[in-house]
């Protein structure tokens, strides 16, 4: 790792630190993610998954993994350096438009949020980063952990204890990000799992078997939950045009099986004037 010279710390999480650094060979700036290795456990599983997924994925909307290095106590992931994340961009740009950005996901990310969406200002491209919670999925869907996704962007099926979930959880997160880009604040912002669930139900209505088939059989569902009727999204997101409200309602559909897919979202009327490239 002598090839890279640390410039400054730009982020820190539960499992490691991210630095802005300089490549001494090319003089280019890179992002260095340092992950701690526990002496008795070896390289963490999430680091192995992230490396494996990023090695397989080469896409203009996914951050590029340039190199991997090791020391006795750490694993280093070297990424292309990007200017800022979506959260900082929204905070710093009063004229920011949600129509400027679009996400296409080919794997189950399980932690989509503004801070994990990086922006290349040279090409006005958004790139998905931090695949530590990422998972390649199979059909039928395997049993998965419910300890994923930052609370504000966590889908209701996960909050209700489902262990058999798939790509709809990422579409829910994208819907939450979509609202935040328009309103400049999250639509659902609980301080605990039950608080988050109730904030969702207050807006979208408390589900039952008629509105969400199978919901009553999920581990954490209670028939004693308060019964809320759905609210009008157009009143909660007043700056969003009708086509955007329609797309949002399809992303924030409580029943995951009826939630819009990424392909259908890209084909939605909301994007018709943006000159979208057909999905392959």
Please state, in angstroms and as integers, the Cα–Cα distance from residue 231 to each residue in 152, 206, 247, following that order: 19, 11, 16
- 22 and 4 Cβ atoms separated by less than 8 Å: yes
Angstrom distance (rounded) from CA 232 to CA 101:
25
Angstrom distance (rounded) from CA 70 to CA 239:
48
What is residue 238's predicted lDDT score, i.e. its pLDDT?
A: 95
What is residue 275's predicted lDDT score, i.e. its pLDDT?
A: 56
Tokens of 262: 């990424």
Angstrom distance (rounded) from CA 85 to CA 129:
10
Distance from the Cα of residue 70 to its chain's centroid: 27
pLDDT tens for each residue of 262-271? 889 989 999 8
Enter the DSSP assignment of 200.
H
pLDDT tens for each residue of 139-185? 444 554 445 568 999 999 999 998 888 889 989 999 999 999 999 89
Q: Which helix (H) or strand (E) holds 240?
A: none
- 3 and 21 Cβ atoms separated by less than 8 Å: no
Burial 195-228 (b: 16+ CB within 10 A, else e): ebbbbbbebbbbbeeeebeebeebeebeeeeeee
Rg of the chain taking only CA atoms, in angstroms: 20
Which stretches of the chain drop beneath a pLDDT of 50? 99-106, 138-141, 144-146, 277-280
Count of Cβ atoms closer than 10 Å to residue 243 Cβ:
14
Backbone angles phi, psi at 77, to 5 degrees: -105, 125
Angstrom distance (rounded) from CA 125 to CA 100:
9
Enter the DSSP assignment of 280.
-
Length of the chain: 280
What is residue 104's predicted lDDT score, i.e. its pLDDT?
A: 44
| Catalytic sites, residue numbers | 111
What is residue 147's predicted lDDT score, i.e. its pLDDT?
A: 55
Please state, in angstroms and as integers, the Cα–Cα distance from residue 10 to each residue in 15, 112, 149, following that order: 14, 19, 21
Angstrom distance (rounded) from CA 26 to CA 257:
48
Residue 152's contacts (CB-CB under 8 Å, 6 or more residues apart) are 113, 176, 186, 188, 189, 190, 196
CA angle 15, 17, 21 (to 5 degrees): 150
Is 250 annotated as belonging to a binding site? Answer: no
- 259 and 250 Cβ atoms separated by less than 8 Å: yes
């Amino acid at each position: 790792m002598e090839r890279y010279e640390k410039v400054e710390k730009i982020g820190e999480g539960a499992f490691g630190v991210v630095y802005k650094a300089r490549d001494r060979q090319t003089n280019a700036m890179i992002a260095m993610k340092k992950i701690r290795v526990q002496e008795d456990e070896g390289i963490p599983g999430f680091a192995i998954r992230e490396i494996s997924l990023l090695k397989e994925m080469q896409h203009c909307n996914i951050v590029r993994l340039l190199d991997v290095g090791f020391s006795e106590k750490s694993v280093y992931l070297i990424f292309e350096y990007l200017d800022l994340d979506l959260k900082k961009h929204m905070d710093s740009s009063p004229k920011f438009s949600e129509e400027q950005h679009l996400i296409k996901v080919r794997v189950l990310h399980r932690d989509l949020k503004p801070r994990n969406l990086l922006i290349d200002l040279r090409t006005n491209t958004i790139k998905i980063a931090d695949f530590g919670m990422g998972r390649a999925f199979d059909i039928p869907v395997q049993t998965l952990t419910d300890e994923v996704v930052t609370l504000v962007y966590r889908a209701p099926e996960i909050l209700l204890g489902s262990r058999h979930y798939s790509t709809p959880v990422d579409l829910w997160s994208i819907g939450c990000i979509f609202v935040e880009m328009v309103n400049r604040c999250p639509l659902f912002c609980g301080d605990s799992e039950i608080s988050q669930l109730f904030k969702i139900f207050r807006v979208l209505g408390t589900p039952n078997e008629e509105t969400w088939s199978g919901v009553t059989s999920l581990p954490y569902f209670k028939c004693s939950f308060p019964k809320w009727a759905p609210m009008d999204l157009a009143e909660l997101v007043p700056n969003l045009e009708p086509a955007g409200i329609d797309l949002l309602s399809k992303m924030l559909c409580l029943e995951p099986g009826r939630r819009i897919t990424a392909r259908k979202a890209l084909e939605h009327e909301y994007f018709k004037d943006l000159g979208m490239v057909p999905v392959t």
